[in-house]
Structure formats: C-alpha cells, structure tokens
Chains A and B, each alone.
Chain A
Amino acid sequence: MKVALLRLGLLAALLAVWELAGRAANPLLAVPPSAVVPALRDLLLLRSYPRLPASLWLTVREIGVAYALAVAAGLGCGFALGMNRLLGRAWGPMIAALYAVPAVVWYPSLMLFFGLDAASKIAFGFLLGFFPITLAVLAGVRQVNPHLVLVARAYGAGVVVVFFRVMLPSMLFTLVGGLRTGLALSVIGVVVGEILGSKDGMGALINHAYGLLRTGDYVALVLVTLLLVVGSDVLASGLERRARRWSE
C-alpha cells in the first residue's frame, strides 16, 4: 500500500515537472502531458498512424524471432562451453569480452549485410540477447555442485537424468535470470534497430514522428512502445518468480 502510494507520488511529481517544463519550452521540441493525451487518443484511434497495428505486430514478431534465436543459440553455446572444460576456458572469456563491447557498434554492418528490412533488426535483437543468455548458462553450469552429480550417479542416474534432475534445478535461478535479461536486451535491440534505420515497425513510426517534429505523436508512440517493453518484462519476472519458488 505504502509502496503503491510512493510510486504514484513519484509519477505525479514527474508528470507535474514535465507539464511545467513542457509549457515553458518550444512546442516543437517538447510537449507537456496535456498535449500528449490528444495525440495518444489520435494514435490509438488510428487517425495519426493508421498502420500502427501492423507496425506493432511487425515489431512483436521481430522480437519473437530474435529472442527465440538468442535462446536457442545461447543455451546451445552456453551448455557446449560449460560442459567442455577446454572450450569453456578457451572461449568463455572471449564471449564475456564481446558482451562488454557496446553492441550498437555492430549495427551499421548488420544493416549493410541484412538490409533495411526485418532481418537486420532480428539480427541485432539476437546479438544483444545471445550474450547474457550464454553467460548465464556458463555461470549456471559452474554452480552445479559436482558432489551432487556424483551422488546422483551412485544412485543410477545417467547423463540425461543428471542433466534434468541435478543440473537444471541447480542452475535454474541463474538461468532464468539470464533468460529475462536476454529478453529485455532482445527487445531493446529490435527497437533500437528500427529507430536507427527501417521502413516499418514501431521504431520506424517513432523515427517518422520525430523527424517531422510531430512531438506529441512521437511521445504517444514512445508510450505505446514502453507498454510493450514493460509488458514483456512483467511476463518474464513472473516466470522468474515461479522458477524461484520451484527451486527453493
């Protein structure tokens, strides 16, 4: 209850500051919340951007494909490097180093390679999501207590049983955390990719409104995108909580 009040209070304060600042500024550069409301209404009624549903759907699909690829490749690479001591020692640090590079530097070449359509956005979302998932799997595999593996083997567990009954539960927490971070970064990758250069998708609409200085529409589009991001994170954190309860 107190937490909710404090959250609402902060939101109200931010809105008030925004309103005051927005009214004082040049309306081409900034808009107060009071001006966003009509823009948001026009947007949702498909007056300002009739292709909003198609664009939103495109962005969601790009995120879905990028994330699915990142999960598949991240789990694959993570387990391959985690289970094989030599490969893990050789390549693990390189992956961690690559993760530290600001990923946006790769984007121009991705665009040259994959073109302006969905492929380059998917590639970028994949690239961003891949690293945290891989690194989480690597860290998770290291968390597995070898003694528990030995105990399971003594009781007749083969490789598959050890994997599902010992390894997965041991690393579940770290793994789910990595999957959640990966999702957030895949979303960022796709949206940033669209903003940096695209013909369609939420990023393209944002870019369009921003380029034409339709600041109200721009803010309204950002809010819709924000909802998408927050929604995906709420979903992921729900799964994380469930995993935590299960692993304890």
Chain B
Amino acid sequence: MTAAGGALIAIESVAKRYVTSSGPVDALDNVSLSVAEGEFCTLIGPSGCGKSTLLGMLGGLVSPDRGRLLVAGGPVTGPDPRRVATVFQDAGLFPWRTALENVEFGLELQGVPAERRRRRAGELLGPLGLGGFAERYPRELSGGMKQRVAIGRALAIDAKILLMDEPFGALDEQTRVLMGEWLLDIWRRTRKTVIFVTHSLHEALFLSTRVAVMTARPGRIKSVLELTMEYPRSMESPEMVALRAKLWSEMREESLRAMQ
C-alpha cells in the first residue's frame, strides 16, 4: 500500500531552519522516522529540540526546508483533518463555544449536518468524563477538563492519526498520571495511530509502543526504543526500571547539551 514497507507515516530526512532576529536556528536536521498503523509513538527530548516542529510538519502547519513527509503514502501538503487530528499543549478551546460546540468544531468545518455532529459530539463527552458539562464554557472548566474537550475535538473528526503535542504538559502531576491512564484506554479502544510529544519519562514509558529520543538542537533522532510490555504497565517492574534508567541516561546527555 505504501512505499515504506506499510508504514502509515514516513518522515524522510526532513530539516527545518528558522530565521529569528538573532540569526538562523536549525530546529531539525535530517530526521527520519516511520510509524506503522496503530502504533503509539512518543517523541521525547530536551526543550527546543524541534519535537513540536516535527509534529507541526506532520499536521501540515509547518513545511520542511528539506526532505519529505508521507502520510498513507501521499506527501503532506497542508492540514488534512480527514486523516490527521491534532491536540496542542494549550487546549486552544474557543471561549465563545460551549464544551459540546468545541467538540463539534472539526465536524462543522467538514460540513457534517448540525444534528449528526451534535449527536456525535454528545456521545464523545460521556467517555471523556464530561457528561454533565456539555453546556459549560471553557472558562468554567478545569485544566484537565479543557484538555479532554480538546482531545474530544480531535477524536470527533475520527482521523486515523492523532498528533498530541505535550497535551498534559500544563497539568499538575496527579492529573497528568490520570489523564495518561485515560488516554491509554481511549487509544486501545479506538486503535488510532498516535504521535505523542512529551518531556515526561513516565508518560513515554507508560504509554508508548515506541519511544524516539531526540537530540538537543538541531534535533535528530538519537535512538529508538521498542516497548513490548503488556498494558496496563507497572512502573515498578524490573524491566521498566531498567528501561527508565536507560532512557534517562540518553535524555540526560541531551538535556545537558541543551543547557549549554
């Protein structure tokens, strides 16, 4: 079906340079990665390593300077909400829309009739734990709830691929852990292909089928870890503790470089 051996997503030698007022910055340099359908692939790396840029490219919001990106065999030329849905770190809810109307947004843009999209969005709110909050406005919701609405908005359009850019980055630790468990549940039920950006080792190890560690700027793929443990995972198992140490030593090296 696709050139790259059945990969749903193929990133081929992409590079990106930003021109800022203090000179050019190489955000990404020669990044290649392919992701198969149904994977939960996490990108982890120090701040400013271009993780978000890479995600932006997959979402069609940023164009690469070099290299190319293929989704389902075709090049990414712009946002394609029929195949790719994005969740951002900042929930980015529209403050003049209720939770339900925010979830409907993507369907509305796709021209789904009002009644059908309302029904679809309504069905999503329950599993999102927002059953009683359909008519609430974003300012009446907590940070975790807002992020769940944003995830609902992404799930509503039923794209195969879910891009998540540090979706729980702004939440407190406890909420973050719970949201991770909840997301895992959603992913296992919907079988979406997820590309997940995070700073958190815990999230990476708890959720992913694969973790790609990125280097400090300019971002490259430093190493890729395959995680084969069953879900739900115990963070205390010897295997997990060893993986955590390994991942941390790689991360630590890059984080130190990023700080210099």
Hey, which bits of chain A sit against chain B, CB under 8 A?
Answer: 147-148, 150-157, 161, 165-166, 169-170, 246-248
A-contacting 9-mer, from B103-111, B123-131, B242-250: B103-111
Cα–Cα distance between A153 and B81 once the two chains are bound (Å):
9
Cα–Cα distance between A147 and B89 once the two chains are bound (Å):
10
Hey, which bits of chain B sit against chain A, CB under 8 A?
Answer: 59-61, 79-81, 85-86, 88, 90, 92, 94, 96, 105-106, 109-110, 137, 153, 157
A248 contacts which chain B residues (CB < 8 A)? Answer: 96, 137
Taking chain B's interface residues, is the majority helix, strand, or loop, or is none over half, making it mixed? loop
B79 touches A155 (CB 8 A): yes
Known: A150-B61, A248-B137. A156 touches B109 (CB 8 A): yes
A153 touches B105 (CB 8 A): no
B61 contacts which chain A residues (CB < 8 A)? Answer: 150, 153-154
CB-based A-B contact count at 8 angstroms: 48
Q: How far is the CB of A247 from chain B (nearest CB, A)?
A: 5
Taking chain A's interface residues, is the majority helix, strand, or loop, or is none over half, making it mixed? helix
A150 touches B92 (CB 8 A): yes
In the complex, the chain B residue whose C-beta lies closest to that of A156 is: B81
Q: Could you pull out 14 A-B pairs where Cβ atoms are within 8 angstroms? A: A147-B90, A150-B61, A153-B79, A154-B60, A154-B61, A154-B81, A155-B153, A155-B157, A156-B80, A161-B109, A166-B94, A169-B94, A246-B96, A247-B96
From A154, A166, A169, A246, residue with most partner B Cβ within 10 Å: A154
B157 contacts which chain A residues (CB < 8 A)? Answer: 155
A148 touches B79 (CB 8 A): no
Cα–Cα distance between A87 and B178 once the two chains are bound (Å):
48
Cα–Cα distance between A156 and B110 once the two chains are bound (Å):
8
A166 contacts which chain B residues (CB < 8 A)? Answer: 94
Q: How far is the CB of B129 from chain A (nearest CB, A)?
A: 22
The 3 A-B pairs of least Cβ separation, nearest first, read A151-B92, A156-B81, A155-B106
